[in-house]
Structure 1
Amino acid sequence: MKIKPLKLSVLDLVPVFENRDDTYALGQAELLARTAERLGYSRYWVAEHHDMPQLACPSPEVFLAHIGARTERIRIGSGAVLLPHYNPLKVAESFRLLASLYPGRIDLGLGRAPGGTAHVSMALSGNFLENVRKMPDKLKDVAKLLQGSYTYEGEPVGARPDPPVPPEVWLLGTNKKSAEYAAEFGMGYVFGQFMSDVGGEEVLRTYREEFVPSPMCPEPKMIVTIGVICAETEEEAVRLASSSSALFRNETPEGDSAPYSERRLLVGTPHTVKTKLEQMMELYGVDEFMLVTMVADYGKRLRSYELLAREFGVEV
């Protein structure tokens, strides 16, 4: 398999650090998006979470409208809209509107996680497990709405407006089931390595082998999302990683000597991290990585992205 030159993108969970408030965190997210564009990153995606005090974005589509107005070129998208909670028509309308405002720049990333506690999920959309069971039908409906072929009770229903360039559609996941869905409905697939202690080789192979071409995605497209912490020295990078988010905590028996999972999080100098990414690129057969950096210092978070961009040949 021929691998294209490696591309880097950003996934922002919009964390609330340093005893700051949500408004400050959203401002730092905007700064990260503008910085990512300046540094030459391919995409800036924002996640969806509900009633989590440490994460400030429950509505990616609203925040993306803000980010789109403050950037010019970088692709922007959701990582992800949690589809079990929502009506496919409303999702398609929201992202077609974004794609009309910012043509050729919008990505619709879809997921099936709850994004909050059981009670939050019930307050948001009722029976979450029942909604997850409907996920294949919802994915099918989103695809039809974006392609202009959706009907309700035999009558055509359209998702307006009609953008000059439709949003790219991606399904996010950490297992074979999500890969099978992405393959069945002809969508791009994003493997969340930063949330999994299992390697993605088999998951990505399943997606490639079962992929069915669609008008949205005529051939398989894959991204791997991985945690990254870069610093000028290995010691500083390890120090930052040791005090970073519980998202990357090592849950294996050797956790005392390795406080973070080396499968979920790449730590080191820019050269070290670049080498690890290039090894993963060869192992997984992908040419794009989406980076999650959860350092409890907004300045050091930005610096991590800057250092890696410089290592890949971008002047900062």
Structure 2
Amino acid sequence: MRTGLFCTYENPERDYASAYADQTTLVQLAEALGFDEAWVAEHHFNPDAASPSCLSILTYLAARTVQIRLGSAALLLPFRNPLHVAEDVATLDLLSGGRFNFGVAKGGPFPLQNKLFNVKREESHARTKEALALIQKLLTEDGVNFTGHYFNVEDVRLTPKPLQTPIPTFIATSSPEMIKLAAEQDYGIMAGPPFPLDIIQSSRHQYLDTAGTGDPRLVLIRFYHVAPTRTQALEEGARFLRPFVERMQISTASMQPEWTHWFKLDRLIEDSLIGTIEEVRDKVLQIEATLQPYSLILKPMDPSLAKRRADLEAFSRSIRPYIGLPSGGGLHLKQPTQGLLVH
């Protein structure tokens, strides 16, 4: 199981330059510590997650790093022109030396995004599927002809072409329709921090049932926070997560009501990596055994850069050496708390 860092460019001080500098520092630290990947989110019109242009950010990070793989988590295809996306993805892959992972999504339950980008919510799935199909043809073929409902091109030759053929592609989704597409096209799947573990396991089973063989290459993103005691970790974790939960409850109620039950504070804490370092290690190893992720991607929660650095260092020192070892490398694992193991 690979490990990595999830970047959402929090901006608690309302100082965008510092927010970007801090996140760059964390990505460079993750690379120095031996983490395998760094993924950048795409969010719009949100000062607490200031990463609207994730491909631009990733291109900058490519110049500031050497070997860590860099991914979009995820590029919101309904709001973008697929010709521009293909050109930007190919350029980024070249400039990064073939280190790019292409994660895509239809966009979350945020009505302002659909309104301002003039995209109807009910069209998001279809636009995503059609845009992704066109982008993949542009990245891998010459003289592309494509006739769709939203996009049409004739005899297009992409310049430049990417280094990787194909570029590793992942869909962030829990939708059965999109899981089926990922399995049929040999894409990986991605699950963000709010996705419940039991839903993720169901998606994994559906992927395997559809594909017959193959690896879902699950990129699992989890909130991460450690403290000297469980009580402290849970109290701090709840404080960090509560504004997020409240905001998402409002958004899902209007845009995606079937997700509303996901955004319960206790449930979200249970499915996150929050506790003492030993408790988090046990949970990581249980997740590795049950969900078998391709990558486990950490979202440090504390607004302090020093604390986020310390938490990454603690994970590297006290958890990463045990990943991939049989039965937790001889550790006596505690029984997981209720809701951790999913079947």
Change (3 A) 1:259 1:203: closer
Q: Which amino acid aligns with 2:88?
A: S
Measured in 2, the distance between the counterparts of 1:220 and 1:200 equals 11
Measured in 2, the distance between the counterparts of 1:119 and 1:191 equals 23
> Contact (CA 8 Å) 2:89, 2:162: kept in 1 or not?
no
- Give the structure 2 partner of residue 133 of structure 1: 126
Change (3 A) 1:197 1:248: farther
Measured in 1, the distance between the counterparts of 2:48 and 2:182 equals 30
Which ranges in structure 1 are unaligned for 5 or more consecutive residues? Answer: 1-5
Which ranges in structure 2 are unaligned for 5 or more consecutive residues? Answer: 148-152, 250-259, 322-343
Q: Which amino acid aligns with 1:13?
A: T
- Give the structure 1 partner of residue 40 of structure 2: 46
TM-score normalised by structure 1 residue count: 0.85
> Contact (CA 8 Å) 2:3, 2:296: kept in 1 or not?
yes
Indicate yes or no: 2:39 matched with 1:35. no
- Give the structure 2 partner of residue 209 of structure 1: 209
- Give the structure 1 partner of residue 254 of structure 2: none
Measured in 1, the distance between the counterparts of 2:158 and 2:226 equals 42
Indicate yes or no: 2:117 matched with 1:121. no
SS in 2 for 1:189: strand
- Give the structure 1 partner of residue 222 of structure 2: 226
Change (3 A) 1:278 1:175: farther
Change (3 A) 1:193 1:28: closer
Measured in 2, the distance between the counterparts of 1:16 and 1:134 equals 31
Measured in 1, the distance between the counterparts of 2:221 and 2:115 equals 28
SS in 1 for 2:117: helix
- Give the structure 2 partner of residue 147 of structure 1: 140
Change (3 A) 1:184 1:101: same
Measured in 2, the distance between the counterparts of 1:32 and 1:260 equals 28
Deviation at residue 164 of structure 1 after TM alignment: 2.6
SS in 2 for 1:103: coil
The one of 291, 296, 312 aligned to 2:298: 291
Deviations 1:107-162 (A, max 9, x none): 111011157x4234322244343243322222211221222153246843132212
- Give the structure 2 partner of residue 3 of structure 1: none
Query: What is the RMSD of the two structures over their aligned residues, measured on CA atoms?
Result: 2.7
> Contact (CA 8 Å) 2:58, 2:70: kept in 1 or not?
yes
Change (3 A) 1:79 1:104: same
SS in 1 for 2:190: strand
- Give the structure 2 partner of residue 74 of structure 1: 68
> Contact (CA 8 Å) 1:227, 1:292: kept in 2 or not?
yes
Q: Which amino acid aligns with 2:201?
A: E
Deviation at residue 239 of structure 1 after TM alignment: 3.2
Measured in 2, the distance between the counterparts of 1:164 and 1:84 equals 25
- Give the structure 1 partner of residue 338 of structure 2: none
> Contact (CA 8 Å) 1:48, 1:79: kept in 2 or not?
yes
> Contact (CA 8 Å) 2:107, 2:124: kept in 1 or not?
no
> Contact (CA 8 Å) 2:38, 2:70: kept in 1 or not?
yes
Shifted more, 176-185 versus 92-101: the winner is 176-185
The one of 234, 239, 242 aligned to 1:243: 239
What percent of counterpart residues are identical? Answer: 24
Q: Which amino acid aligns with 1:88?
A: P
> Contact (CA 8 Å) 2:44, 2:52: kept in 1 or not?
yes
Shifted more, 292-301 versus 204-213: the winner is 204-213
Measured in 2, the distance between the counterparts of 1:125 and 1:35 equals 39
Indicate yes or no: 2:164 matched with 1:172. no
Residues matched between the structures, number: 300
Measured in 2, the distance between the counterparts of 1:143 and 1:184 equals 14
Deviation at residue 208 of structure 1 after TM alignment: 1.9
Indicate yes or no: 2:7 matched with 1:12. yes
Q: Which amino acid aligns with 2:194?
A: F
Measured in 2, the distance between the counterparts of 1:252 and 1:274 equals 27
Change (3 A) 1:280 1:141: same
> Contact (CA 8 Å) 1:231, 1:307: kept in 2 or not?
no
Measured in 2, the distance between the counterparts of 1:303 and 1:22 equals 22
Deviations 1:164-205 (A, max 9, x none): 324321111234333222113221111235343743211111
Q: Which amino acid aligns with 1:224?
A: L
SS in 2 for 1:200: helix
Change (3 A) 1:130 1:220: closer
Deviations 1:265-297 (A, max 9, x none): 121122211210111121113242111122232
> Contact (CA 8 Å) 1:248, 1:264: kept in 2 or not?
no
SS in 2 for 1:207: helix
- Could you say which structure has the higher helix fraction? 2
Change (3 A) 1:259 1:128: closer
Q: Which amino acid aligns with 1:205?
A: H
